[in-house]
Amino acid sequence: MKHNLKMKLSTCLTIFFLCIICSIGNAQTTIQLHTSDSGKNPVISKYIYSHFAEHLGNGIYGGFYVGDTSKIPNTNGVRNDVIAALRKMKIPALRWPGGCFADTYHWKDGIGPKDKRPEIVNRWWGGVTEDNSFGTHEFLNMCELLGAEPYISGNVGSGTVQELADWVQYVSSDNKNPMSELRKANGRDKPWSVGFWGVGNEAWGCGGNMTAEYYANEFRKYSTFMANGGAGKIFRIASGASDADYNWTETLMKNIPHNLIEGVALHHYAIIDWGKKGPAINFTEKQYFQIMQSAMRMEELVTKHSAIMDKYDPAKKIALVVDEWGGWYDVEAGTNPGFLYQQNTIRDAMVAGTTLNTFNNHSDRVRMANLAQCINVLQAVILTDKAKMILTPTYHVMEMYNVHQDATLIPLTIKTDDYTLGAEKLPAISASASKDKAGIVHISLVNINPNKAEQITINLGDIKPSQITGRILTSAKLQDYNSFTDPDKIKPVPFKGAALKNGNLNITMPAASVVVLTLN
């Protein structure tokens, strides 16, 4: 009898502890989709999925462009493997030529016969010689090959109003004028279609160390003459705030007449400490946590910058353009510190997935964003080594998420567990959802917790799917990455962990994973 009681007690205790272990292993998140669309839900602009390519390190030369005499297969000098990969990812727009480089760039150096183009020093990035062999024609023709719209960053810091107005006219004008004649003489008869123009870059820093008030006045002047330059619709983007410089946004919104401006920029990098950024691969969990803290600050930044914009522009005519974002780490050992070359791990997939969910959920105001940078620089989607090319985990997230491009946002509320490290915590799950033009619903989910799977229940509202499919991106370790010797270590695979029950969607989301679901 006594023995039996002991047995029962020990069985109960075992079950009790098993339950505790299970609940530790699988946490709980609930998501509610708000599907009653009153026609007011914003469209997630495809331009949120845009990219940035600066004359920096091997971003342009060796990355996009190898020249038409290269043995690497190319079309007019642009790598064919890169063209295919970026087309598959559906790159909507590409920002060029900088960054800091833009405010030192004089576009007339990069047109005409290549042997006549001057060589300059790239003073921002490694002090290397820039031979100007990749200029306006090469960039705009490349955009046509990629199926991407160009976004040209004009030189305000060391340029003139006339120089920028001439550039607009050179690329866009169909009328007879000195600039369109020059373009024709250089071999391009028809104008290109260039809508997006940046009026300087980081005017508060490398773009001229201006005050917000001074820059707002400069912007008014530049913008006035740019408007007269080209044929099509022009979208002028003001150099915006760094991080939480809300005064910068407020000053621009207050001081620039709204008929002169279509977008205000914002730059935010996920960084631990500018003096001690930490490694791109062999980071600790603490460094992972710090990067996620910094990346997820994007939510607060776009919320607060948007609130300021709402004050001056309640109709939301002016876009918030996050034209530089991404993770920034120490360069890989043995590489030029001025080239900003870093590897890309599952950590970067977490940064990309959570940030893109934030942009989707704020698509009423955030209507363009450009990942920094596209190839071989910072949080790149592509890395190249001579003839070899690899796709990074960030590429795969961008490709998986492209289903949201130009789809209608489905707002959601989320109640999630925390990912805790020591005394600090972050929301473990991030999500966004949309309905595309064919009526197909997509839900993108990120579990940033590297230690726990998460049970997620999604209330689908009035969505009644007959089929659910999905793809997942994950790997055994946060530090895993694709290398030139193991290029496909990390790639999306079919996801089978979602099931419908009583109208709800139940998902088991593995630790440190990105999932995109398709509901037909």
Site residues for ligand AHR per CB under 6 A: 54, 98-100, 201-202, 324, 372-373, 378
CB 306 within 8 A of CB 365: yes
User: Least CB distance from residue 327 to ligand AHR, whole Å?
Assistant: 12
Q: Is 324 among the residues known to form the active site?
A: yes
* DSSP string for 126-150: TT-EE---S-HHHHHHHHHHHT-EE
74: which strand partners?
79
What tokens were used for 484?
A: 């030139």
User: Least CB distance from residue 377 to ligand AHR, whole Å?
Assistant: 7
User: Least CB distance from residue 74 to ligand AHR, whole Å?
Assistant: 25
What tokens were used for 381?
A: 């989607």
Residue 371 vs 390, nearer CB to ligand AHR = 371
3-state DSSP of 267-326: EEEECCCCCCCCCCCCCCHHHHHHHHHHHHHHHHHHHHHHHHHHHHCCCCCCEEEEEEEE
**Cis upstream peptide for 97 (omega within 30°):** yes
Buried b (16+ CB within 10 A) or exposed e, 477-491: ebbbbbeeeeeeebe
The residue number with the shortest CB distance to ligand AHR is: 99
User: Least CB distance from residue 125 to ligand AHR, whole Å?
Assistant: 8
User: Least CB distance from residue 100 to ligand AHR, whole Å?
Assistant: 4
- C-beta atoms surrounding 109 within 10 Å: 16
User: Least CB distance from residue 378 to ligand AHR, whole Å?
Assistant: 6
Q: SS3 for 506?
A: strand
CB 226 within 8 A of CB 165: yes
- C-beta atoms surrounding 453 within 10 Å: 17
Residue 381: which of 361, 398, 365 has the closest Cα? 398
User: Least CB distance from residue 240 to ligand AHR, whole Å?
Assistant: 11
Amino acid at 309: M
| Active-site choice (138, 149, 218, 324) | 324
User: Least CB distance from residue 375 to ligand AHR, whole Å?
Assistant: 13
- Cβ neighbours of residue 510 under 8 Å, at least 6 residues apart? 447, 453, 472, 474, 497
Residue 340 vs 400, nearer CB to ligand AHR = 340
Residue 265 vs 302, nearer CB to ligand AHR = 265
- Cβ neighbours of residue 191 under 8 Å, at least 6 residues apart? 171, 172, 173, 174, 180, 183, 230, 231
Residue 166 vs 324, nearer CB to ligand AHR = 324
209: which strand partners?
none
Residue 271 vs 517, nearer CB to ligand AHR = 271
Query: For residues 361 and 359, what is the distance between their CA atoms, to the nearest angstrom?
Result: 5
| Active-site choice (149, 202, 299, 454) | 202
Residue 201 vs 358, nearer CB to ligand AHR = 201
Residue 54 vs 218, nearer CB to ligand AHR = 54
Residue 370 vs 475, nearer CB to ligand AHR = 370
Residue 182: which of 267, 110, 121, 77 has the closest Cα? 110
Q: Is 250 among the residues known to form the active site?
A: no
Active site members: 202, 324
